[in-house]
Structure 1
Amino acid sequence: MRVAGENSDWWRDATFYQVYVRSFADSDGDGVGDLDGIRERLGYLELLGVDALWLTPFFRSPMADHGYDVSDPRDVDPLFGDLAAFDRLVAEAHHAGIRVTIDLVPNHTSDQHVWFQEALADRLGGSRDRYIFRPGRDDGPPNNWISIFGGSAWTRLDDGDWYLHLFDARQPDLNWAHPDVRADYERTLRFWLDRGVDGFRIDVAHGMAKPVDLPDMDLRAGNRIGQHDLFDPRFDDDGVHDIHRLTRRVLDEYPGTMAVGEIWVTDSERLALYLRPDELHLGFNFRLTLARYDAVELRTAIDASLDTAALAGVQPTWTLSNHDVVREATRYGDGPLGAQRARAMALVELGLPGVVYLYNGAELGLPNVTVPDWAIQDPKFFRSGGQIRGRDGCRVPLPWEGEEPPFGFSPGANPWLPMPPEWAKLTVEHQLEDADSTLSLYRQAIELRRTHPAFTGDELEWYGAPAGCFAYRRKGGGLICVLNASDTPVPLPAGEILLSSGPLTDRRLPPNTAAWLAR
């Protein structure tokens, strides 16, 4: 059973919390987070005040890419529990008023998936048609595409055929022109919807369809993220929209469910296509994530995101971090400066109209961790010959309590990634006792966002502000958010001060601080 009010578009102003499952809470002492660990910490998520969860993949997988290489999309990997554990989690979350959304990985499978194993064993029987196999060209790969994880996007088999993998060689890309692929995807959607999930996050939502002739890419595009005009046929092919229409047709049969796409497309008109009424409900717009800590750049990112949402007629979707990017406390300067700026940006983000996704640990102000070479597990590190450190630094398990690792994350002694001893002051236990902590700031901000009448209205207007600063106002409710990204204090505008990311003196906003006001 779903949360009451299932016929509403509850996600329009929801605060989602991304749970990186293997790093949230370990219930059985093996050093890896699991579904029962999440269930046991639902009280914390209630206290934080979030509306919904996004769970990263927990499906059966050999874990070459920590679950994004799926061998069975309709079962739980024993590392994380079983279907009964998932059902318990959903039931208790719904009882607490928290909705549950899960990741889907439709671009590729694991090389251990039964389909790919059949393809390896049966070259001429048609099994390879479910994937993208091609003969080579000039004794090399079929085209010049490169993998997001580094190196060629093609791997050659001993029989001479090549198969495509936009990510690791152990993640072969599916051929979405094949009817079996579409039918199996629909079966997976219905399997989890019938178990009560409230929606999905679609991984690589801009990447499933490929042009039939697989033309060469402009290698200058590389793996660049963000706006550019270079030819990159690996992504954003028009055929992807028919796949999202399939998703929407199924979801429309389950009132109160939704889908959000991971869409690394920054052209506003192209991105808006994914959000048409018969496609995805929401789409991550990563402009704010990509923006530097600079008032002009941040304002430009906000405006562009709002424009895209308005063009599509949907709510904007905001996030500052996830399991693939450097945490904001490090990205904005590291150390005390980065932590201060990350607190300010939390108010900027949570003050905006629309949907907010928080990455687990952001509410604790966790920084990235420099993971030693011996502990690194990200395939990016190995495919790049150690040149790319990978994403493990933002995936270190959460510290819950105590004075030394594993800080209550696990009843065992060795979490899957090492935890720094200096996190003793960042534990949930420590921060709950400190009214000035980052966790306390997030709790207050989320509560105000949910309950204060100033947080209404879908449009913004900008105030004039000193250099290095900005101030926006929510039309309708009247919330004012002011950010001082400069080096000197600035006066606050008129209004009742609701919350600030740091101490104020005589209604002056210090550097690297944000404040909320209402009038």
Structure 2
Amino acid sequence: MKQDWWKEAVVYQVYPQSFCDTNHDGIGDFNGIRSKLDYLKELGVNLIWINPCYQSPMVDNGYDISDYYQVNPMFGTNEDLDALIQEAKEKGIGVLLDLVVNDCSDEHPWFQKAVQDPESEEADYFIFKTTEDGQPPNNWRSNFGGPAWTQVPDGRWYLHTFDKRQPDFNWENPDLREKLYNMVNWWMDKGIAGFRVDAITFIKKDLTFASVPTPDGSLYQIENYQNYPGIGEFLTELRDRTYGKRNAMTVAEAVGVSMDYFPDYAGENGYFSMIFDFNWYDMKGEADKSSKEAVHRWRQKMFDSQEQISSLGCWSGGVLESHDEPRGINKFLEPKDQSRTSAACLGTIYFFLPGTPFIYQGQELGMTNSVWNSIEDFKDVMVHNRYRECVENGGDTEALLQELREYSRDNGRTPIQWDDSEYAGFSDTEPWIPVNPNYPQINAAAQQGDPSSVLSYYKKLVALRRDPKWKEVFSEGKFIPQREAEDYLIAYRRVLEDKTAGIFCNFTGKAQTVRVSEEVEEILLNNCDNLEQEAGTLTMAPYQAVVLSLK
């Protein structure tokens, strides 16, 4: 394969707990993923990214790893995963695994030994501090709420960027780094296609560990230390010692990386093949997401980001939703505007931007946020930490609950809806997290044979993105945004030599007339039954999206 093969890939993200259960315990497993490989092949994707599946107490849904070399028995065995990797490869689908190396579980043997013996080699694999007054070493706040420090019985404090049961590694220790590199190479030897790299911008710390004054005396959000100076040395070494020696794809979750540093992370000789572009990832803060002002702001953020990334010669991963986010149809559309047509329009908007498109499981069905009646319904540790903090501080718990219903990560973690049988065909027993009540209406079985379904449209999206005639236009072509377009219109062109693809999306519930300066040669994709054309104009139905070959 050519070195940048991943530029022409389409990736499907699998959250294994919620994908397909074959051993009747209400939890998805490797054999469940294997059973759906033909579904994924028919969808057209050529890569699947599997969220953490390593040994873990599952405090943070698998991101707290207690053994990097063993898979979690709830998903199956190492041999089951090997079989999945091999069978997927035979079907033309590569497997990406999650790489989590900022922190591990407090049940990892290294941390257990570090707590038991302050003089052990493992004690320096983590960040321990001792204070004279017995108080936390500084005022840093964990991303999951509360102090970023937890005390062990002998009085030492250890640092955790996330939950207290996820101690951070000390990347300053070369012996630790060597062990991590050995682990990465061990997994690469199994024939995986690469990694999605988790929370990687946190691995370099401010070694002064100084407190930061805050106006109200509150804790200082530790995420302000993302991409800390000096991190490049670690990331260069990680790349050169592991996946950089192989024809692998790596996509990093690199929140906090500004455009100034984008080339370091995802340029021609970057630390990774790509990083996710989160600059237009949601419409938070918009009182009415359907207003022309909100759509305009979102369009400008998208275009600004894509133009900058392209001008820098960098590559990004394009996403609408993930396991860490609510459903895309809820993030970008008001309830009155959510439909099969608008879901297809939303998919079209991002699918042909520069970068590699990612589809999150269930997105191709138009799955929506679920229903959460009380705090007990939620499973996410971050939700419960925030709620506890709110109670302790005398906050408005009902207001917080309303926010969580809309933005909780659990919205993206409900079981994928395969059919209208009990538990949505995900399992024959009660799942680990409740199925969305709308599964009788939204499910794969109902959409499979329906040419007007969201699933059928996503198959067309993937087919066009990977079409031999057009794939280089979408992977290599110039990105030309139509900034002065009509209100509610999100339009851009991809141009390579004598080929031009025009993407036109009417992102509103009203019909509108759109100006097109070029001659329309062919309609490559259309989420509606027809398209009204006159000389120089298109009349687009509400939430209509088209991809046109332009002359």
CA distance in 1, matches of 2:369, 2:338: 11
- Tell me if 1:55 matches 2:57: no
CA distance in 1, matches of 2:224, 2:433: 36
Instruction: Tell me how far 1:217 sits from its aligned partner.
Output: 4.1
**CA offsets, 1:267-322, max 9 Å, x none?**
21123322241511111111121346544223323333324433552323211111
Contact kept, 8 Å, 1:214 with 1:233, in 2: the verdict is no
Aligned partner (choices 477, 481, 486) of residue 462 of structure 1: 481
1:354/1:333 CA distance change after superposition, 3 Å: closer
Q: Matched residue of 1:424: which SS?
A: coil
Contact kept, 8 Å, 1:65 with 1:379, in 2: the verdict is yes
**CA offsets, 1:457-512, max 9 Å, x none?**
43222334212223211011311111222453223434232222344453421233
Which amino acid in the other structure matches residue 411 of structure 2? G
Which segment is superposed worse, 82-91 or 258-267?
Answer: 258-267
Who is 2:410 aligned against? Answer: 392
CA distance in 2, matches of 1:180, 1:468: 55
CA distance in 2, matches of 1:320, 1:376: 22
Q: Matched residue of 2:493: which SS?
A: strand
Which amino acid in the other structure matches residue 260 of structure 2? E
Give 5+ residue unaligned stretches, structure 2: 389-399, 534-538
Who is 1:140 aligned against? Answer: 135
Q: Matched residue of 2:342: which SS?
A: helix
For normalisation by structure 2, the TM-score amounts to: 0.86
Which amino acid in the other structure matches residue 437 of structure 1? S
Contact kept, 8 Å, 2:283 with 2:332, in 1: the verdict is no
For normalisation by structure 1, the TM-score amounts to: 0.91
State how 1:304-343 maps to structure 2 within 5 Å. Answer: 304-310=304-310, 312-335=312-335, 337-339=337-339, 340-343=341-344
Which segment is superposed worse, 213-222 or 109-118?
Answer: 213-222
Aligned partner (choices 54, 59, 65) of residue 64 of structure 1: 59
Who is 1:512 aligned against? Answer: 543
**CA offsets, 1:213-250, max 9 Å, x none?**
12334657999xxxxxx996531112322222123213
Who is 2:87 aligned against? Answer: 92
Give 5+ residue unaligned stretches, structure 1: 224-229
Instruction: Tell me how far 1:25 sits from its aligned partner.
Output: 0.8
State how 1:170-319 maps to structure 2 within 5 Å. Answer: 170-217=165-212, 219=214, 233-251=224-242, 254-265=245-256, 267-276=258-267, 277-291=269-283, 294-310=294-310, 312-319=312-319
Aligned partner (choices 377, 389, 398) of residue 379 of structure 2: 377
**CA offsets, 1:82-122, max 9 Å, x none?**
11111111111111011111101100000000011001111
CA distance in 2, matches of 1:201, 1:330: 25
Instruction: Tell me how far 1:188 sits from its aligned partner.
Output: 1.1
Q: Matched residue of 1:206: which SS?
A: helix
Q: Matched residue of 2:277: which SS?
A: coil
Which amino acid in the other structure matches residue 541 of structure 2? P
Q: Matched residue of 1:473: which SS?
A: strand
Contact kept, 8 Å, 1:318 with 1:357, in 2: the verdict is yes
Q: Matched residue of 1:407: which SS?
A: helix
Who is 2:369 aligned against? Answer: 368
1:220/1:209 CA distance change after superposition, 3 Å: farther
Cα RMSD, aligned residues only: 2.5
CA distance in 2, matches of 1:237, 1:221: 25
Q: Matched residue of 2:322: which SS?
A: coil
Which amino acid in the other structure matches residue 460 of structure 1? F
Q: Matched residue of 1:406: which SS?
A: helix
